[in-house]
């Protein structure tokens, strides 16, 4: 089957749900981060990021500071800023970015090499620790920044610099005799090279991406050889994942399970899907489907988070999805969105978009405070504040978002995703416009030589009514494929007010016609409250349900429901007993749910720990549910997604 075509810059967003986040990012996040990268934020740990570039360029003396991957912070910043320029042109910001790019490029070496850690610390050591020194990871992010900025502004300065850096990498690493047969410890360059290839059409870029994908995990194992050369002991030698921490324990074509560090895994699989698509490699596409299936069927939370364990920030084993000790890194959910879109590009199946939506509306944006200024690394589905202080297993589970992190991966990652959300909403190929996500604004593409455009009006995700009005060139004949979400059991289509029957296949309803300006297509997705059960093999969720409405997973929070949420159960209440209410002033505006429930009390128990004679008395409760993404925006307290039935 064929993919869903190209995604880049096919939508415009004019939507209150996303604008809240996007405008915060644009107005506050981007300027704040620039100050942070330049060590000008009082009371914050210095970043040293721009200072490193200055030292590397010989403009000042000093030693490298920060993580080995510190350069990637400015890369992500440039990328995020580039995206905002696409939907909010801003000359002043563009000038700042140009200046940042000048600083970056000034450090580039004559042969194209560009990584301040080694430029400052000793170029003779470069490419000697691909496993842990993140050189190719930094390169990957800088390539993504370069492509994004080029696509946003047409400016090639960073793009050309990165092409030269890729040439440098390519001359040192690869399958050919005399080159290092290595690959990155932390993937991302695979995706980045494919983005570069899409711009340059230079086969060298595709070939290098394919090399990184296929060389990974080949025997003899490059990382073992590298460790031996460096006299390093292997940090994960006693772990259950060993080299699969890096997804490098075996060649990718032999891998069947999502293993190791979750962000690395998702980045890699996304890159593999890119390579599979661009090379038409059916075997590699099958590998992606297999890894996708294992991820979403057995190792993903209902919120779209992945990574069950803080140990290695990693996947564990099938159906192991603890809600309270989860890692569920924001970056991993973001990376799952990357993977999902690339699977859609491989084959246009709604199940990929379903997961993309699930992650985006839940486990991704839960990573950011409603005001856009604080962030979670870890996104639990169950929180007990005392446990986060006194249970070592849960000390990584914070009950409040943090202002920034020493290892600042999640905040800029969420920023670059939400500021490029246009690239996930719809896609087009020669004869079809796919709508994957429903966001108010517009869809636009060139199809069959015609400029196609729809205005989209909707209050999604708060209700399921979506109106698409054709505003493109008249007489354009193409198929509009509208995703019918997996959560939606009933929907209706009307064209110019008249009921319309449409085939649904692979999760999309197709309206194939010749469109005229003003044509109005209305899609009504039934959006009742649903009580979601987990597969009975997921042992942590046995006997429990999660509440979902549309794409949003809901939760109970102490602020609404008082403490001891473990003692709350639905008491057999079914979905029809839930009421919905729009609360414009609560948590930035939410549809709040209320339901009956039962609260178990300790009445009559006193200080008895165990008893065969005491009943557990219950009182009726009125439960208030809020969207999961909005938790932890009030006073710290308990939170719970899965509740006993």
Contact string 562-581 vs a copy of itself (x = CB under 8 A): --x-xx-x-----x------
Judged by CB under 8 A, the residue of 171, 496, 535, 576 near a copy of itself is 535
Q: Does 609 bind a copy of itself (CB under 8 A)?
A: yes
Q: Does 236 bind a copy of itself (CB under 8 A)?
A: no
Q: Which of 168, 110, 175, 111 is nearest to 139 (CA)?
A: 168
Per the rule left: phi > 0, alpha: psi between -120 and 50, beta: everything else, 598 is beta
Nearer residue to a copy of itself within complex by CB, 498 or 607:
607
Q: Which of 143, 114, 144 is nearest to 53 (CA)?
A: 114
Judged by CB under 8 A, the residue of 120, 180, 293, 479 near a copy of itself is 293
Q: Which of 393, 241, 396 is nearest to 316 (CA)?
A: 241
Q: Does 234 bind a copy of itself (CB under 8 A)?
A: no
Judged by CB under 8 A, the residue of 139, 168, 276, 300 near a copy of itself is 300
Instruction: Quote the tokens at residue 107.
Output: 């450090």
Nearer residue to a copy of itself within complex by CB, 251 or 571:
571
Least gap, CB of 396 to a copy of itself (angstroms): 11
Contact string 314-353 vs a copy of itself (x = CB under 8 A): --xx--x-x--x----------------------------
Least gap, CB of 88 to a copy of itself (angstroms): 37
Q: Is 239 exposed, middle or buried (0-12, 13-18, 19+ CB in 10 A)?
A: middle
Nearer residue to a copy of itself within complex by CB, 68 or 534:
534
Per the rule left: phi > 0, alpha: psi between -120 and 50, beta: everything else, 404 is beta
Query: How far apart are alpha carbons 377 and 464 in whole angstroms?
Result: 31
Strands (E), 161-305: none
Least gap, CB of 613 to a copy of itself (angstroms): 7
# residues contacting a copy of itself (CB under 8 A)? 61
Q: Does 237 bind a copy of itself (CB under 8 A)?
A: no
Query: Residue 626 CA to chain centroid, in angstroms?
Result: 22
| Piece of 173-181, 453-461, 465-473, 612-620 that binds a copy of itself (CB under 8 A) | 612-620
434 in Cβ contact with 413 (< 8 Å): no
Query: How far apart are alpha carbons 339 and 502 in whole angstroms?
Result: 29
Of 354-413, which residues contact a copy of itself (CB under 8 A)?
384, 386-387, 389-393
Least gap, CB of 553 to a copy of itself (angstroms): 9
Q: Which of 313, 382, 422, 522 is catalytic?
A: 313
Query: How far apart are alpha carbons 531 and 553 in whole angstroms?
Result: 10
Q: Which of 409, 410, 426, 555 is catalytic?
A: 409
Q: Does 297 bind a copy of itself (CB under 8 A)?
A: yes
Q: CA–CA distance from 289 to each of 150, 152, 463 (Å)?
A: 32, 32, 32
Query: Residue 326 CA to chain centroid, in angstroms?
Result: 17
Q: Does 611 bind a copy of itself (CB under 8 A)?
A: yes
Q: Does 492 bind a copy of itself (CB under 8 A)?
A: no
Nearer residue to a copy of itself within complex by CB, 586 or 644:
644
Helix axes 30-37, 91-106, angle to 10 degrees: 30
Least gap, CB of 377 to a copy of itself (angstroms): 17
Q: Is 313 a catalytic residue?
A: yes
The three-state DSSP-derived secondary structure of 71-115 is HHHHHHHHHHHHHHHHHCCCHHHHHHHHHHHHHHHHCCCCCCCCC
Give me the residues that bind a copy of itself (CB under 8 A), please.
240, 293, 296-298, 300, 302, 308-312, 316-317, 320, 322, 325, 384, 386-387, 389-393, 487, 489, 530-539, 542-543, 546, 548, 564, 566-567, 569, 575, 600-602, 605, 607-616, 644
Catalytic positions: 313, 409
């Amino acid at each position: 089957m064929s993919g869903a075509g190209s995604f880049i810059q096919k939508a415009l967003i004019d939507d209150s749900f996303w604008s809240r986040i996007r405008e915060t990012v644009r107005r506050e996040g981007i300027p704040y981060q620039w100050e942070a990268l330049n060590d000008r934020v009082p009371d914050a740990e210095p970043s040293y990021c721009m200072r490193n570039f200055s030292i590397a360029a010989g403009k000042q003396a000093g030693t490298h500071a920060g993580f080995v991957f510190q350069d990637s912070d400015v890369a992500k910043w440039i990328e995020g800023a580039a995206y905002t320029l696409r939907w909010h042109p801003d000359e002043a910001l563009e000038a700042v970015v140009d200046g940042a790019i000048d600083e970056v490029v000034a450090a580039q070496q004559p042969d194209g090499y560009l990584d301040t850690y080694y430029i400052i610390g000793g170029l003779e050591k470069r490419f000697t620790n691909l496993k842990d020194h993140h050189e190719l990871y930094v390169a990957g992010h800088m390539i993504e920044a370069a492509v994004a900025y080029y696509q946003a502004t047409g400016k090639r300065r960073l793009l050309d610099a990165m092409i030269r850096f890729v040439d440098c990498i390519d001359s040192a690493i690869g399958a050919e005799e005399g080159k290092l047969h290595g690959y990155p410890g932390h993937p991302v360059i695979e995706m980045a090279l494919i983005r570069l290839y899409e711009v340059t059409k230079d086969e060298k870029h595709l070939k290098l991406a394919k090399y990184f994908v296929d060389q990974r995990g080949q025997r003899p194992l490059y990382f073992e050889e590298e460790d031996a050369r460096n006299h390093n002991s292997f940090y994960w030698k006693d772990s259950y994942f060993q080299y699969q921490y890096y997804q490098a324990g075996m060649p990718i074509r032999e891998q069947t399970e999502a293993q190791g560090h979750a962000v690395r895994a998702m980045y890699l699989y996304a890159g593999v899907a890119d390579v599979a698509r661009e090379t038409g490699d059916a075997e590699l596409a099958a590998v992606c489907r297999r890894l996708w299936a294992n991820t979403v069927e057995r190792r993903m939370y209902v919120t779209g988070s992945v990574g069950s364990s803080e140990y290695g920030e990693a996947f564990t084993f099938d159906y192991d999805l603890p809600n309270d000790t989860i890692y569920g890194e924001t970056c991993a959910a973001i990376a799952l969105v990357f993977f999902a879109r690339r699977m859609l590009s491989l084959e246009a199946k709604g199940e990929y978009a379903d997961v993309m939506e699930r992650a985006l509306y839940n486990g991704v944006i839960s990573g950011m405070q409603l005001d856009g200024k604080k962030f979670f690394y870890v996104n639990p589905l169950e929180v007990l504040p005392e446990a986060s202080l006194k249970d070592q297993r849960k000390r990584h589970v914070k009950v409040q978002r943090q202002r920034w992190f020493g290892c600042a991966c999640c905040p800029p990652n969420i920023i670059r995703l939400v500021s490029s959300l246009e690239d996930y909403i719809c896609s087009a190929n020669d004869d079809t416009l796919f709508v994957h996500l429903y966001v108010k604004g517009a869809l636009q593409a060139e199809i069959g030589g015609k400029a196609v455009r729809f205005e989209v009006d909707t209050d999604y995700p708060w209700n399921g009514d979506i109106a698409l009005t054709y505003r493109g060139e008249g007489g354009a004949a193409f198929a509009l494929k509208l995703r019918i979400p997996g959560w939606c059991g009933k929907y209706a289509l009307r064209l110019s007010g008249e009921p319309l029957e449409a085939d649904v296949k692979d999760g999309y309803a197709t309206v194939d016609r010749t469109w005229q300006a003003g044509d109005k297509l209305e899609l009504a997705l039934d959006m009742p409250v649903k009580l979601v059960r987990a597969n009975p093999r997921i042992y942590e969720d046995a006997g429990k349900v999660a509440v979902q409405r549309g794409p949003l997973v809901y939760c109970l929070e102490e602020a609404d429901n008082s403490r001891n949420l473990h003692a709350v159960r639905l008491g057999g209440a079914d979905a029809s007993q839930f009421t919905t209410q729009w609360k414009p002033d609560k948590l930035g505006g939410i549809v709040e749910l209320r339901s009956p429930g039962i609260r178990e009390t300790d009445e009559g128990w006193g200080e008895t720990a165990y008893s065969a004679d005491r009943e557990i008395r219950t009182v009726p409760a009125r439960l208030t549910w809020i969207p999961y993404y909005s938790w932890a925006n009030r006073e710290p307290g308990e939170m719970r997604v899965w509740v006993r039935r």
